[in-house]
């Protein structure tokens, strides 16, 4: 069970993270304007440019002139304010980390916990490229999350999943916005997973309508240097009054990049070893943005040894065409890299029997929610990843 703390009602960790986010916002906005807006492709049909080339050039000229004028007329004051805000932001973030328990922040939504009708539940996963400071350009080739968030949450509400596992939710302001827009529909939000005082965190966010039996975050032993990756284990109950869970969901994002194949294999092995020692037998799902192509002969085959994949259609879940409009030399990555998969009880080439339930579990539906169109329009894209939504039955 999730341990209670005397600080839970005060919600101190969340408050400190929010204060830290407010203090660093000026840096993120300035970084976005100067670091990305000014040098983005000037085509009015791309990114968040103005509707005409002339207007866009004018906007960029104002940004540059404003930066120069600020430096000359108030440079020392700006520098002093920057130091104060930077130090304050780090201190508040460290305080948020201190008041966390078990490596995550739990926020209660206003919706009551639901009972799972007819043993049927729906799970959604989506990589939203939720970076601050314009980093969504270079990470996914999409515009700032503030210009996408209303359409994203409309898509989530239309699907109405019971459990959501989101990836790349790095901006605390995005976390708070998702909470604001979804709190009336959901009971539990798990955020700032694997956070440390230096600002690293996994970027995953787990949201559920269901009653929670337990939730935990586990750091990967092998990970990237820029982020603190790990995996989340959520056990949900069929009814709020139940004493035992009915399903286990393991959510994650594995390390990206062509050169990180060995790291990803180690991360999957760590998840598998973690699952092998679980005591309760129940349906278990592997959910997230894996940065592994489903059909690759090495990593894809390794995943398939342990998993039944719910989404098997030919339409890829990810594209590199959006980011290529920002960086034409982008080499491309995996395309079918997002998964909602069921663990096998008796995986091939592994003598262990895993504590998962297969008998009576039925896959009812698995489909994509489009994050981008066939024209790869950067202005309308919600992400460079489609979402996957899977509905299954047999929970009890």
Q: Is residue 269 within 8 Å of 228, Cβ to Cβ?
A: no
pLDDT higher than threshold 60 for residue 121: yes
Question: Strands across the sheet with 247-253, in order?
Answer: 211-219, 230-237, 247-253, 284-289, 338-343, 307-309
User: Quick check: 258 pLDDT over 60?
Assistant: yes
For residue 7, pLDDT beyond 60 = no
Residue 259 predicted with pLDDT over 50 = yes
Domain extent listing, the chain: 12-96, 102-393
Q: Quick one: tokens of 70?
A: 């600020």
Region of poorest pLDDT, from 14-28, 159-173, 329-343 = 329-343
Summarised one tens digit per residue, pLDDT across range 50-61 is 999 999 999 999
Query: What is the C-alpha separation between 392 and 123, in angstroms, rounded?
Result: 9
Lowest average pLDDT, out of 101-110, 157-166, 366-375, goes to 101-110
Q: 380: Cβ–Cβ under 8 A, 6 or more apart, which residues?
A: 372, 373
Predicted confidence at residue 392, as pLDDT, reads 97
CA 148, CA 275: separation in Å to the nearest integer? 36
Question: What is the rounded CA–CA span in Å between residue 278 and residue 66?
Answer: 58
pLDDT mean across residues, the chain: 92
Beta-carbon contacts of 249 under 8 Å, excluding residues fewer than 6 positions away, are 123, 163, 165, 206, 232, 233, 234, 235, 236, 284, 285, 287
Burial class of residue 110 (count of CB atoms within 10 Å of its CB; 0-12, 13-18, 19+) = exposed
Task: Tell me the C-alpha distance between 15 and 22, whole Å.
Answer: 11
For 287, phi then psi, to 5°, come to: -130, 130
| Mean pLDDT along residues 266-275 | 96
| Structure confidence at residue 332 (pLDDT) | 64
Burial 294-307 (b: 16+ CB within 10 A, else e): bebeebbebbbebb
**pLDDT tens sequence across 41-87:** 999 999 999 999 999 999 999 999 999 999 899 989 988 988 999 99
Q: ∠ at Cα 15 (12, 16), nearest 5°?
A: 85
CA 104 to CA 318: how far, in whole Å?
28
pLDDT band at 17 (very low <50, low <70, confident <90, very high): very high
Roughly how many angstroms between the first and final C-alpha of the chain, as a whole number? 19
What is residue 331's predicted lDDT score, i.e. its pLDDT? 65
State residue 3's pLDDT score.
Answer: 47
pLDDT at 5 over 60: no
Q: What are 174-185's pLDDT values in tens digits?
A: 999 999 999 999
pLDDT at 224 over 80: no
For the residues 153-175, what does the mean pLDDT come to?
A: 97
Question: What integer is the mean pLDDT of 181-205?
Answer: 91
pLDDT of residue 200: 83
d(CA 296, CA 293): 5
**CB atoms < 10 A from the CB of 151, how many?**
13
- Please list, in sequence order, all residues whose beta carbon lies within 8 angstroms of the beta carbon of residue 140, skipping any fewer than 6 positions away: 129, 322, 323, 383, 384, 385
Query: Quick one: pLDDT band at residue 4, thresholds 50, 70, 90?
Result: very low
Average pLDDT rounded to a whole number, residues 281-306: 93
**Percent of the chain surpassing pLDDT 70:** 96
Residue 128 has pLDDT above 90, yes or no: yes
% the chain with pLDDT above 90? 77
The count of C-alpha atoms lying within 13 angstroms of the C-alpha of 89, restricted to the half-sphere facing its C-beta, is: 17
In CATH, the number for domain 102-393 is 3.60.10.10
């Amino acid at each position: 069970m999730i341990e209670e703390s005397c600080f839970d009602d005060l919600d101190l960790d969340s408050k400190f993270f929010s204060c830290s986010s407010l203090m660093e916002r000026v840096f993120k906005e300035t970084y976005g304007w100067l670091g990305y807006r000014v040098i983005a492709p000037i085509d009015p049909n791309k990114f968040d440019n103005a509707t005409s080339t002339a207007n866009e050039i004018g906007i960029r000229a104002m940004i540059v002139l404003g930066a120069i004028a600020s430096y000359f007329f108030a440079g020392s004051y700006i520098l002093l304010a920057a130091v104060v805000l930077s130090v304050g932001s780090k201190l508040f973030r460290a305080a948020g980390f201190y008041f966390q328990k078990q490596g995550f922040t739990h926020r209660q939504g206003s919706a009551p916990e639901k009972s799972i009708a007819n043993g049927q539940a729906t799970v959604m996963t989506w990589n939203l490229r939720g970076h601050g400071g314009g980093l969504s350009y270079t990470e996914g080739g999409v515009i700032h999350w503030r210009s996408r968030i209303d359409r994203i949450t409309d898509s989530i509400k239309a699907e109405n999943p019971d459990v959501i596992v989101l990836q790349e939710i790095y901006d605390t302001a995005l976390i708070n916005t998702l909470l604001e827009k979804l709190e009336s529909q959901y009971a539990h939000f798990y955020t700032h997973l694997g956070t440390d005082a230096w600002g690293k965190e996994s970027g995953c966010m787990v949201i559920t309508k269901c009653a929670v039996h337990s939730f935990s975050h586990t750091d990967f032993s092998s990970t990237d240097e820029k982020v603190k990756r790990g995996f989340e284990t959520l056990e949900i109950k069929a009814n709020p009054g139940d004493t035992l869970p009915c399903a286990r969901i393991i959510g994650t994002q594995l390390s990206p990049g062509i050169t990180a194949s060995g790291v990803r294999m180690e991360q999957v092995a760590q998840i598998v070893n973690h699952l092998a020692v679980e005591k309760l037998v129940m349906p278990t799902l592997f959910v997230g943005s894996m940065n592994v192509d489903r059909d690759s002969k090495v990593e894809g085959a390794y995943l398939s040894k342990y998993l039944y994949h719910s989404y098997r259609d030919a339409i890829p879940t990810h594209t590199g065409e959006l980011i290529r409009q920002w960086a034409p030399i982008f080499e491309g990555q995996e395309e079918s890299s997002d998964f909602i998969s069921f663990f096998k009880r008796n995986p091939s080439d592994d003598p262990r029997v895993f504590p998962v339930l297969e008998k009576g579990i039925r896959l009812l539906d698995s489909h994509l929610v489009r994050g981008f169109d066939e024209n790869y329009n950067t202005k309308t894209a919600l992400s460079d990843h489609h979402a996957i939504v899977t509905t299954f039955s047999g929970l009890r």
